[in-house]
Amino acid sequence: MFIETNTGNYHIKVLSSHELTNDNIQQWSALEERAVEGNVYLSPYFILPSLKYLSPQARTFIVFVEKNSDSIPKLCGVGVFECCRGTKKLPLPHLKAYCSPHSYLSGLLVDEQYMEPTLEAFFTFFSSLRKYSYGIEFKNRTASTRLAKQFEITASRFGVSWIQYDRKQRSILVPHQLEEDYLERFLSSKMRKNIRRFQKLLSEKGTIDWHLLSGRQIGLDSIDRFLNLEHMGWKGTKGSSLLSNPKDEAFFREMITGFAQNGRAFITELSVNNQVIASTSNLISSKMGYAFKIGWDTQFAQASPGILNEVEFIKRAAGSLPHLEYIDSGADEGSFIDKLWHDRYDLVSGFYITKTLSRSALATINCIRHMKRWIATK
């Protein structure tokens, strides 16, 4: 599949992952660095291993928005989408912003300098579709950001409605706001007491060390350690760890290696007597960090090494990662990280509805849902 269209001074390419050239990937990676809003789950180093190992049968395509010029066209926007025949939420053919089983955000990558015309090009493209033109679903898209506000402005110009079905908050860490008294100010007295108890229990086992490995410091040994720790405990038992599925493992190894080789990954490790007992994997996109997955040695469970690893990270994040605006926890509401990371931002899920028929269908579905809830309370 290779489709080209023009909209004003902007050129749109629609490609499959197999049609991407090395030059396409390099331009995509460069766009990620200057994007108005980072999104590691839209990085080529995440998307391409995802499509290769996790979603090989998905009907996906990649949209490039390029600014026409006299020389080489400049890549200004990238979106990855999946064709959907219909779901319970929207039982009509529509597009979904691609999310792998390990993706915690969706959206678009948009050049900060060309944000408005790039979004106009995207909505022009969406409006030109036929078979899947009833709507575009975005799951866990950032809200109340510069990009989100421009989304709203551009959609209104095209007569496109945003129909929201979920809104939630996610904990984030802001490195430049981590003052020395952060733990005292924002953690409950009970949590601080537990942390002191955990630290005492662990110190009785031996010498405690903490390290942050970044970029090319991340080697096969640190990746293996992380995978083995992430596999321990309930994840391994339940079969949800990365090592439980060869495709998940292959995805992670290729993905983390790609980010690390480009200086966009870091791993934190907590050790006792030189034995690593807790590890986290983290990714970077533009000026944002993204916590990915965590693991810890269940033999030290009484000392909660996963929590202590996070505590050490909080203490040192400002000095280790001063260039990051914030770090997205990737965690669901109510997780243990909510007790440690004080700041929050909003995420929304919903549809940009492009046709009257789909608006009517959604209105009917919502009416039925309200009726069911009303009946359930009687």
Q: Using an 8 Å Cβ cutoff, are 31 and 67 in contact? A: no
DSSP string over 59-91: -EEEEEEEE--SSSPEEEEEEEEEEES--SS--
* CATH code for the structural domain at 175-324: 3.40.630.30
Q: Using an 8 Å Cβ cutoff, are 99 and 89 in contact? A: no
pLDDT for residue 92: 87
As a whole number of angstroms, the distance between CA 169 and CA 341 comes to 12
Over residues 181-212, the pLDDT tens digits come to 999 999 999 999 999 999 999 999 999 999 99
Looking at beta carbons, which pairs linking 239-244 to residues 24 or more positions away fall under 8 Å? 242/293
pLDDT in tens, the chain (378 residues): 444 556 668 899 999 999 999 999 999 999 999 999 999 999 999 999 999 999 998 999 999 999 987 678 899 999 999 999 988 888 888 999 999 999 999 999 999 999 999 999 999 888 888 777 788 999 999 999 999 999 999 999 998 989 999 999 999 999 999 988 999 999 999 999 999 999 999 999 999 999 999 999 999 999 999 999 999 988 999 999 999 999 999 999 999 999 999 999 999 999 999 999 999 999 999 999 999 999 999 999 999 999 999 999 999 999 999 999 999 999 999 999 999 999 999 999 999 987 654 455 555 545 444 444 544 555
Q: Are strands 265-272 and 208-214 parallel, antiparallel or unpaired?
A: antiparallel
Domain 2-168+346-377 shares a fold with domain 175-324:
yes
Query: In the predicted model, what is the mean pLDDT of the chain?
Result: 91
DSSP string over 96-134: EE---TT------EEBGGGHHHHHHHHHHHHHH-STTTT
Closest CA to 92 of 130, 58, 132, 59: 132
Report the CATH fold assignment for 2-168+346-377.
Aminopeptidase (3.40.630)
* CB within 8 Å of 306: residues ≥ 6 apart: 278, 294, 295, 296, 336
Domain spans of the chain? 2-168+346-377, 175-324
In our burial notation (b when 16+ CB lie closer than 10 A, e otherwise), range 338-370 reads bbbbbeeeebbbbbbbbeeebbebbeeeeeeee
Residue with tokens 């994007």: 35
